[in-house]
Structure 1
């Protein structure tokens, strides 16, 4: 998804300082041996008034973490608990990242700049607080691909190589290090609420609910709902849309823990992600997901479960019935979002819930039978141009196509991001510090995003 042009005025807005005494811990960044700029997201920087920074200034702010003017006086490592693979863990928190700055974009939305790989914090446990360069490169690709496919995602803002040799069990080691900055519409997780509930901090819970309602507005649900119920109604709608966006993108996040759930409905924190090579509900991304808890076809169920954990935490402030009512809306929001997004990616007009659901069923049957992956399927059938003489072809022919004028739709093949290509992009970086394939891929994904245009959004998005 390519954001619309915004103004370029830097407007600091460190609103989290109102919660700073209990939501996080002041920390400092690691002192890295070197700071070599590898990726700078200029379109994102333009949206928040930072496009005019020189590379030297960029490195000072996003490699050495010199404070931005009138912003947070020091970074905050945020505190939270969470369910990890549905097992509760109170020993969490920002262990290799922090909230660095808050500022407004051109529409007045509050935006956060948060880090990954910026050094140890009180929540690092046994970790070194670092990030591998390959991990940063993978996150750039994931966020660019997801954005191009209409997923509401954090964006990779900056990657700076830091000159340390890291040892990791899932990469050939030693491997190169980096510090990354994300741009997101907030960093408040379901796990943030879980921590307050576990500690019995009702006053802080009420303050956090108020902060979210003020800064991430959306659909409130039933008239007269309490603040806690209003927030849960908003989060359920956003999370249902996020789950639907994964399905239509053919994406498997891999680690849908409650500490990885942002109440704004933004997808973030990309570790073992994968795109589907073929339509397979049982496909998993993480090698350690032995039970398939977060398999492709179970992601909506997992995200709904996570919303349930937010409801449990909000029982600190609200009785159960209005919270249960909000949770029960997930399914209707999810189904509406899947059909809305499916038609958008196919480039066709919606004919209503019943007809659209039938079309999705035919599409899944076609992909299962042919072995064609989602990227190829949506590309080849866009606007009904495949002209197939079967039930799917007839269903597509009954709909008026959306006008496609972008040259991307005349390419020989669609963009995709299977794991083999990711490895092929990394190899020249690892072997010869050749970033040309990486840069070309980012450009190609942005071009695909331009071709798709903005996805149809649920009204409740923050």
Structure 2
């Protein structure tokens, strides 16, 4: 293995290898016919010391999966169970991905590199272990938009086209293939704990709690519920805090994940695994993203409840280590934490300073009524009313909103973005318009232009709000 060109902050830290005997299966990446570099996120790579890689080195590590220097010796396909649309499934695991490297970022956080579309594993079942190029492009767009809107999300580090023809029921086929690398704070899921509980692996459960406490406190919160006496209770309080914040971030972003199964819930509180996602075209709590979500279980307005339910499944799993009462107490914190996160994030996006939970909650209600009355989506609404500026129509709802906003102090809205003719958005028609020239003429300019525009919006939004919770108090 050749030495890795590195800058001052490439610091390998393959700590998951201490759990490797039971948390995953050693696998190899598929031997792809081609490796054509399509996307490298140097902004994210710089945070982990990898932006200095040449394109050739990048392809070796992220297309052929040559191990990074002093890192994991090979990939691990992680094992987990999970509730899928509330039906328990013990036959899960990384079926088209793996974790293959860990390192510290510039802030000292433990980070993972994981894949999507890297080939078959013991958990592939009948799948081919591949990812369509369109799916990879969609993940770039989702993660860039979410990051700009302040959502704690995985980031798309790399996309490499792999030269295979794939057949899918939800895309015109044959279609092109790709392998994606995501950068995340971790890949431990609620379903990881569910598997250990189902198999009665209590020692491994305790090890995993310790691993999470040692490696994840910096994901959202500096320490979580630090006065809880039992490690599992401290850990669970952290997860509840993070999940409440994630749920609020979805609602403020107008984002519908689509598949909020417990195997898609990262205990770091990072949103990840983007399949049938959508942004709201207009204010509609019943809007769903997945065509197969016939009951609307994961509709936009039901996402906070769905994430809370998943937290409950983690509590059930942790009962193998600790009695129920402190876990129930932690779970019962979720509604208040969610409401606090909602008001903090909503007013951040609206561009006004907080005044108080009751008054801020009433303001959110007034905003929702205007969106419903005018058929607006969150992108258009927040852009129009940034800093409380209006304009306000003559309707009862808009005049009520104007009165509600009157006592609020505006935050900085001096960035030129706020004077643009229209806000950035990520509606499905825009996604299809970006994909069409890639599919037809191999023209990627629309994608790159959109990412630049979204990042400019993120600059205008500024740093996302600090999360709420016991440790942030």
Instruction: Give the shorter-chain TM-score range.
Output: over 0.9
Whole-angstrom distance in 2 between the partners of 1:318 and 1:9: 39
Whole-angstrom distance in 2 between the partners of 1:444 and 1:274: 19
Whole-angstrom distance in 1 between the partners of 2:67 and 2:206: 29
What SS does structure 1 have at the residue aligned with 2:71? coil
Q: 2:425 matched to 1:421?
A: no
Aligned counterpart, 2:3: none
Deviation of 1:221 (Å): 2.3
Match of 1:393 among 390, 399, 402: 402
Deviation of 1:391 (Å): 1.3
Q: 2:145 matched to 1:145?
A: yes
Q: 2:439 matched to 1:439?
A: no
Match of 1:381 among 370, 381, 385: 385
Contact 1:376 1:414 in 2 (8 A): yes
Deviation of 1:372 (Å): 1.0
Over residues 216-262 of structure 1, what are the superposed CA-to-partner deviations in whole Å (9 max), with x where a residue is unaligned?
Answer: 11443262420111111000000000000000000000000000000
Whole-angstrom distance in 2 between the partners of 1:416 and 1:371: 15
Q: 2:411 matched to 1:412?
A: no
Whole-angstrom distance in 2 between the partners of 1:315 and 1:213: 17
Deviation of 1:458 (Å): 1.2
Deviation of 1:393 (Å): 1.1
Contact 2:384 2:391 in 1 (8 A): no
Aligned counterpart, 1:55: 55
Whole-angstrom distance in 1 between the partners of 2:87 and 2:412: 48
Deviation of 1:459 (Å): 5.0
What SS does structure 1 have at the residue aligned with 2:103? strand
Match of 1:274 among 273, 278, 281: 278
What SS does structure 2 have at the residue aligned with 1:161? strand
Whole-angstrom distance in 1 between the partners of 2:82 and 2:42: 34
Give the gaps of 5 or more residues in structure 2: 1-6
What SS does structure 2 have at the residue aligned with 1:322? helix
Aligned counterpart, 1:302: 306
Q: 2:92 matched to 1:92?
A: yes
Question: Could you state the TM-score of these two structures normalised by the residue count of structure 2?
Answer: 0.95
Aligned counterpart, 1:73: 73
Deviation of 1:14 (Å): 0.1
What SS does structure 2 have at the residue aligned with 1:335? helix
What SS does structure 2 have at the residue aligned with 1:404? coil
Out of 287-296 and 385-394, give the one that drifted further.
Answer: 385-394
Whole-angstrom distance in 2 between the partners of 1:8 and 1:402: 36
Distance 1:222 1:44, change over 3 A: closer
Give the gaps of 5 or more residues in structure 1: 1-6
Number of positions where the alignment pairs a residue of Structure 1 with one of Structure 2: 456
Aligned counterpart, 1:286: 290
What SS does structure 2 have at the residue aligned with 1:416? coil
Aligned counterpart, 2:113: 113
Distance 1:224 1:253, change over 3 A: closer
**Large movers: runs of 4+ above 3 Å:** 459-462
Contact 2:76 2:99 in 1 (8 A): yes
Aligned counterpart, 1:173: 173
Contact 1:8 1:51 in 2 (8 A): no
Whole-angstrom distance in 2 between the partners of 1:272 and 1:220: 32
Whole-angstrom distance in 1 between the partners of 2:364 and 2:136: 34
Whole-angstrom distance in 2 between the partners of 1:254 and 1:309: 19
Contact 1:8 1:48 in 2 (8 A): no
Deviation of 1:455 (Å): 1.4
Question: Could you state the TM-score of these two structures normalised by the residue count of structure 1?
Answer: 0.97
What SS does structure 1 have at the residue aligned with 2:20? helix
Deviation of 1:385 (Å): 1.2
Q: 2:373 matched to 1:369?
A: yes
- Aligned pairs (5 A) from 1:310-321: 310-321=314-325
Aligned counterpart, 2:131: 131
Match of 1:251 among 236, 247, 255: 255
Whole-angstrom distance in 1 between the partners of 2:206 and 2:158: 34
Q: 2:226 matched to 1:226?
A: no
Whole-angstrom distance in 2 between the partners of 1:307 and 1:222: 19
Deviation of 1:8 (Å): 4.8
Whole-angstrom distance in 1 between the partners of 2:37 and 2:186: 25
What SS does structure 2 have at the residue aligned with 1:209? helix
RMSD: 1.2
Contact 1:375 1:414 in 2 (8 A): yes
What SS does structure 2 have at the residue aligned with 1:178? strand
